[in-house]
Amino acid sequence: MLRRELALVLRARVTWMQAALASLLVGHGFVLAIDLYTAGARSAAVGTLMAREFDPLLGIIRPTLGGLYLALSLFGPLIGARSLAIEKDRRTIHMLLLQSGSVPRLLLRKWLAAMAGAGLPIAGAAALLIIWLAVGGHLKASEAVTAFAGYVAYAGFVTAVGLAAGAFAHNFAQAATAALLAIAATFAIDAAEGFSALAWMGGAAAWSPTGYLHPFEEGTFALSSIGWFAGATSGALVLAGIGCCFDLHGLRRTATVVAGVVALLLLCLAGRNLPGAWDVTEAHRHSLPPAAARALRTLPGRLVITANLDREDSRRLQLQRDTLAKLRLARPDLRVRWPPDERRAPAALDASEGYGQITVALGDRSVQTMSTSRRELVTLIFELADRALPDWSQLEFPGYPLVTEGGRRTAVVAASYFVFPTLMLAIGFAFTRPRRRTQ
Amino acid sequence: MAAARADYLTLNGISAVRARRRVLDAVTLLVAPGEIIAVVGPNGAGKTSLLEAAIGALPLSAGEVRVGDRRMVGIGERARWFFFLAGEAEPPAEVPVATLLEQAVAAPGADRRLVPDLIERLDLGRLRGATAGSLSRGERRRVLLFAALVSARPFLLLDEPTGVFDPLQLLDVVALFRECATRGTGLVITVHQMSDAETLASRILVLDEGRALACDTMQGLRDRAGLAATASLQQVFLQLLQTRDSGEDDPRAPS
């Protein structure tokens, strides 16, 4: 019964304490984002060109969600782990499983309840964006909803990981440690992204949820991201189900766990290979110009870009975030290789290896360049296909600079640091007050 | 080997090891529908292990658990037959009693017709609005017993369900167990207080160091121990231990 599981999560003080702390983290990110946005917007007042750089999705929503990412990573696994491990601490797990008669049914309820608990900070972040609108900020609904959808998917993933940890651990302490370690492992993979000494972990990047969150944060509805989260979450829930089967012992248990891990990997692989992505941003600003994108889709042959750029090279980040992200929207089959990541041992990069060179291959033809410019690379692709670059014009994104100061800033600061965290504590206090019996 | 009878719970020569220690050694027990079996023995005798082995939570190194001719495989199958209540089980402190009662009633197979009577006799009506954490130990145990008794599963395996009750409450609970058995439910109840076992059980399984010393009615145990009809279970137990130590009887052969 879902009501019992919801009560277990939402009537626990720890849930509301984490929600209050998470609100503080998210609120801090929001205030910093507003201050930075304001500082830039003051200078944008002098020219329209600068105003175009003021993108609320990247300037406000994304930094605010940065705090949410940290909060969900820290507290989501704990809420998931607690909802199952507490049954072990209280010796009710066998009773509950036999009472329910179905492991998947019980797990689904536990997961939904844990999602409700982990979702409190998401509601807090959404409330902050309403404040942003109230102080005169601009938001495009489709962008904001897509960004939040990514974080709902992430909350589902971290709570499922917590449940899996709770299913295999003997008590909450063990479960919490295991769940946090699992999430910390994804942090390690992310850390390797900008650190050439950890280039050997390059292949592991496909197993970090952060990479699959980026498209959402950029207003792109990518099926591969949704597929990966769906696969990873279902896989973690399958593992949790195996952990809950208390009548599996010894070799049978080990074999089932191995099968569960294989199922998780296969589900993730299947999910991340789903083709199709849609740019839902205002003026489709995260896509290539429409004519070029349409023409790119019609080009025959496999598109491969080999970029000889190391992880610590800023050009690589720019290439990934801008050109490659936009190219992928038009050509989901795009394959990218990074030769420096394929080095087996740390070694100095030799100039003779053509460092900085980018090779664009379409079918059996290829061309090399040192430029990371979007237009240059797309032009080369069309040249390889013996076609001229199509019309490069695109709808202008007007930009929305906003200076938030004086009373409005005070209201933002008060809401972020005081009102929302206190509200979480107050609601929590009202929800978690022990009720006495009636005489 | 115990003969399989339709809808009898059969623990057939089960052995189990926990942390490299043999906690059950070839224990055989047949539980008929409508029967109350009390499992007694000193600490570490294997009472809790016996119930955990029956539901599959403790792996068997030998023997098998059957209901009729069905081997118990998977939680779904076990859930059709068993309700298990662990000795130290506590309902979640945050959850209101009303929600816990609703959950018990909503469980598959629960017998809703029993609800009003059980709520009245377990005195749960006035606790409905309270959260489980604000209840006394006895009240919390009554909430869990409600879940067990309303479940209408063919076999209730209850680990020390009576230890927290005062003598008056114990009488009520024993009456509920008896009524439950009258409806055809088989109950296997571990009991620490031997006097409780005498009060509630139709048969008593005496365990020591994982082995079944005997399983019989109270009078049967007295006869087996060669004691008078007034002898208490404690006296019978001590006599059975003495008999086993002196090797006069085969301790692994319960009647």
pLDDT digits (tens, 9 = 90+) for B53-95: 999 999 999 999 999 989 888 899 999 999 999 999 999 999 9
Residue type, B209: E
Query: In sequence order, what are the residues at sequence separation of 6 or more whose Cβ sits closer than 8 angstroms to the Cβ of residue A270?
Result: A227, A231
Distance CA A181, CA A342 (A): 27
> CA-based diameter of chain A, in Å?
88
What single DSSP character describes residue A287?
S
* DSSP H or E run through A376: helix A374-384
CATH number at B9-245: 3.40.50.300
Instruction: Please check whether residue B117 touches A, CB under 8 A.
Output: no
DSSP class of B252: T
pLDDT tens digits, one per residue of B99-127: 999 999 999 999 999 999 999 999 999 99
Instruction: State how far the Cα of B57 lies from the Cα of B60, in Å rounded to an integer.
Output: 9
pLDDT confidence of residue A345? 56
Note the pLDDT tens digit of each residue in A220-255.
998 999 999 999 999 999 999 999 999 999 999 999
pLDDT in tens, A79-133: 999 999 999 999 999 999 999 999 999 999 999 999 999 999 999 999 999 999 9
Whether residues B95 and A437 touch (CB distance < 8 A) is answered with no
Helix axes B167-182, B137-150, angle to 10 degrees: 10
Q: How confident is the model at residue B253 (pLDDT cuts 50, 70, 90)?
A: very low
Helix, coil or strand: residue B13: strand
Whether the model pTM is above 0.95: no
Taking the CB of residue A181, how many other CB atoms lie within 10 A of it? 11
- 3-state DSSP assignment of residue B168: helix
Interface test with B, best of A98, A242, A244 (most B CBs within 10 A): A98
> Which tens digits make up the pLDDT trace of A156-215?
999 999 999 999 999 999 999 999 999 998 888 887 766 666 666 666 777 889 989 989
A99:B89 CB<8 A: no
- For residue B89, what are its two tokens? 């089980």
Q: Does residue A300 belong to the interface with chain B, where contact is any CB pair within 8 Å?
A: no
pLDDT at B55: 95
Cβ-Cβ contacts under 8 Å, A244 against chain B = 75
- B127 vs A: CB within 8 A: yes
Quote the tokens at residue A73: 């990573």
For position A200, what pLDDT does the model report? Answer: 66
Other beta carbons within 10 Å of B204? 25
Percent of chain A with pLDDT over 70: 93
For chain A, what are the domain ranges? 2-278+406-432, 290-384
Question: Distance (Å, rounded) from C-alpha A30 to C-alpha A34?
Answer: 6
Of the candidates B87, B85, B91, B86, the one whose C-alpha atom is nearest the C-alpha of residue B132 is B91
3 state DSSP class of A134:
helix
Cβ A159 vs Cβ A79: under 8 Å = yes
Q: Which CATH number is associated with domain A290-384?
A: 3.40.30
When CB atoms are compared, the residue of B84, B96, B129 closest to A94 is B84
- Distance from C-alpha of A288 to C-alpha of A393, rounded to nearest angstrom: 9
**Better-predicted residue by pLDDT, B99 or B168:** B99
- CB proximity list for A245: less than 8 A, separation 6 or greater: A103, A253, A256, B74, B75
> Which residues are CB-neighbours of A43 under 8 A, at least 6 positions away?
A50
Q: Which of A120, A127, A128 is nearest to A424 (CA)?
A: A120
DSSP assignment of B32-87 = -TT-EEEEE-STTSSHHHHHHHHHTSS-EEEEEEEETTEE--SHHHHHHHEEEE-T
Cβ contacts below 8 Å, chain A against chain B, sum to 126
Chain B residues in contact with A438 (beta carbon < 8 A): 126, 128-130
